[in-house]
Every structure is written in structure tokens, then in C-alpha cells.
Amino acid sequence: MSINRNLTEEQILLRDTVRKFAEDVIRPQARELDEKEEFSDEITAEMAAMGFLGAFLPGKYGGSELDYVSYIILVEELARVDSSHAATIAAHNSLGAGPLYYYGNEEQKEKYLPKICQGHLWGFGLTEPEAGSDAGNTQTTAVRDGDYWVLNGSKIFITNAGTDMTLGSTVLTVTGENANGKKELTCFLVENGTTGYETKNMKGKLMWRASNTCELYFTDCRVHKSQMLGKRGDGYHQMLGTLDNGRLSIAAMGLGLAQGAFEYALNYAKQRKTFGKPIARHQAIAYKLADIEVGIAHARPYLYEVCRMLDGNERITKEGAIAKLNCSELAHMAANHCVQILGGYGLMKEYDAERFYRDQKLLEIGEGTSEIQRLVISREIGCFD
């Protein structure tokens, strides 16, 4: 079945364009940026000029107006070549632009969206040292003081929050207690450079080393009340909605990485000879490649179908979790086979196999671990009713 089956002419052209861009602009630098653990302002600026930053936002804010299938193809094609750059784009769109666009008021949208389409990044500060999917345990607080809210606390593992191109981040805080005794959660839009707000780049990552990951620190950081996202107490639902959509971009990263690892392994297996013939002709190797192909062949149409559901404003809590779980485990299998097929060379940094192998691991952890995905799915199918 063709990779382009059931896609429109525009979606096919978009795939071809992003693939060529990723091959020409990102691939030549990917290995070195990963090795140096360096975020590239230049490549990010080029991606911005291509319209990757405001992928699904309307044209009136400077967005590219992609439908969700097209957006997912964009992320998939970047991840086929390099997960770090795919992560920059996926996090910016799904977690940065998404909440601003879906939950911001018109004034906030006009203030921030044109800038974050054109070349500024926006982060999403949810995770804390002791709170991730368990958002109810959030410790960062915001306390009202006249027209301002005063933020104190910290966040961890926040993508895109601390680059020279970053404009700010959406930050989840505790603003009180609900009637049922649970924490009242509220999001604020905090610009970089605000007094009392600091970002610290996290180094020493296993994966996505050319993407930016930060710790955020708030020390009596005063944020004007107009920077509240939506209403007081909306934070929990905003976060869940954002993660539902964000899961699809992680799924796209898994699918793209699996495709990249598959092509890399197949190409190697057809060239490398042992016992007088290419290793692709040894069944043990051929069957590994066949297994990856089976996984990709099932994962892609399913992911695109979930995107079409989202385009149709259907609820995708279960389907998004299934796609995310499936594609991230597929990426694990593909990267593992890829290293195995390359044998000793697969362990060396000169070959992309080891980067695929490291980069895939986040997909089973970020935006809800595989265990959390199974929890979501089992809840949705009624196990706990």
C-alpha cells in the first residue's frame, strides 16, 4: 500500500517538501548537533520560514492552516531524519501554540500567535519534579496580589522554554482549593525575562540532544492577571485537552522514527555481505525488516484516521492513546532491529542507528508513559466502571 494512499495532492506535496527539507537542511547537521548537545537557532529559523511553527493555526495569525493529517505528516517526516528537530516542532505546535490558540482570549492570541508563527518558540510548563501525568500533585503556586498573581515553584523537562528564540511558556499552577478538596489548577502565560522567572537548560540527555529542555524557576514572579489562560480553575482540563492532542504528535514521531530506522536498516542490509551474500538475504535479517514493515503498515493508517477524527472535532482520548502507545512501541522495535542489523557498527556514533536507538526511548515516556497510555485505554474500555 502506498504511503500516500488516501492523501490529497496537497498532503502528498507537503510530505515531499518536508522530506526534501529534512534531507537537505537537517540531515547534514543532525549527528554533530546531537553529539555537541546543541540547539540550532539557524535550522529553527529556517523551519520557521517554511511555516513549520504555526502549523495548524489560521492564516490571520500567520499560521500555515494545516489540517491535522498534514501536521502529523510534517512531524513524521522530520522524525524520519532527526527526532530533536521533530521534537522542537511537535512541542512548539502541540504544547506551545495549542493551548494559546484553543484556550486564549482574542487579546492574548493577537499578542502572541503572530510572533510564535514567525520565529519565536513557546513552551508548556506542566511537569514538576513530583508531578507529571499526576497533575493533581502540582506544587507551583500562584497567589493573588491586587492586579497580579505571584508565582513560586519550579518545573522540569520543559521543551523549548529556554532558547534565544523563546518568547515564553504556559505554566500550570495551584491557585487554591476546589469545593471537593482537590487543588484548583490555573494556567498563566509567562514571558521569558519576567522578573523572578528563570530558565535553566538541562544537559546530559540520552536523547533529543539537539532540542532544548529546561528547568523553570519561579521566585515571587509577578504576572499580570491578564496573563491568565482561560478562567481560574480551568488548568486541569486545559492540560488534559492539550495532552490528548499532543499524544498524536508523539505518535507521529514514533512512526517517523520507525520509517527512518527501517530505511536505514534495509539499505545497510542490502549492501553488507556475510557468507557470500547480502545480509538482507539471510532470513534472520529479512524477517526483522518484514516485521518493521508490518508494524508501519498498520500504524500509519490508524494514526491518520485518528487525525481525521480530530479534524472532525471528535473526542480522541482512547484513540490518541492507542496511536501513541502503538507508534512508540513500534519505534522501539524498529530502532532495536536497526541496531541489531548493523551489528557492531550499530553501536558506533558514526552510524545513525545508535541515534535512532537513543531517541526512541523518550517516546515511551514523554506525554504520558506507556503505562499511563494503557491506563487511559483500559479506563476508556470500561475496566474500572
Partner 1 sequence: MNILVCISRVPDTATKVVIGSDGNSIDSQGVKFIVNPYDELAIEEGLRLREKNGGVVTAVTIGTDKSTDVLRTALAMGVDKVILVKGEENPDSFYVAENLAAVAKDENPDLILLGRQSVDFDSLQIPSALGEILGMPSISVVSKLTIEDGKVTAERDIEGGCEIVEASLPCIISAQKGLNEPRYPKLPDIMKSRSKPIDQRDAAAAASRTSIIGMEIPLKQRAGKILTDSDDDINELVRMLHEDAKVI
Query: How far is CA 335 from each of CA 90, 263, 324, 342, rounded to the nearest angstrom?
Result: 20, 11, 16, 11
Contact at 8 Å (CB) between 331 and 253? yes
Contact at 8 Å (CB) between 120 and 165? yes
Type of residue found at 315? R
Candidates 39, 52, 112, 304; binder of partner 1 (CB under 8 A) is: 52
Among 191, 364, 367, 380, the one annotated catalytic: 367
Q: Does the annotation count 367 as an active-site position? A: yes
Q: Residue 20 or residue 200: which is nearer to partner 1 going by CB?
A: 20
Size of the residue set binding partner 1 (CB under 8 A):
24
State the minimum distance, in angstroms, from the CB of residue 70 to partner 1.
7
Candidates 33, 43, 55, 69; binder of partner 1 (CB under 8 A) is: 55
x/- map, 61-90, partner 1, by CB under 8 A: --xxxx---x---x----------------
State the minimum distance, in angstroms, from the CB of residue 262 to partner 1.
16
Type of residue found at 286? A
CA distance 170 to 191: 9
Q: What angle, rounded to 10 degrees, do the helices at 317-342 and 370-380 form?
A: 140
C-alpha grid cell, residue 206: 540520552
Residue 183 DSSP SS3: strand
Contact at 8 Å (CB) between 214 and 161? yes
| Residue 267 sits in the site that holds partner 1 (CB under 8 A) | no
Residue 143 DSSP SS3: strand
Candidates 32, 36, 41, 59; binder of partner 1 (CB under 8 A) is: 59
| Residue 225 sits in the site that holds partner 1 (CB under 8 A) | no
Window of 10-18, 232-240, 250-258, 341-349 that interacts with partner 1 by CB under 8 A = 10-18
Residue among 188, 125, 202 nearest 158 (CA): 125
State the minimum distance, in angstroms, from the CB of residue 61 to partner 1.
11
Report the interface residues with partner 1, using CB under 8 A. 2, 4, 8-10, 12-14, 16-17, 20-21, 49-52, 55, 59, 63-66, 70, 74
Which sequence positions are flagged as catalytic? Answer: 367
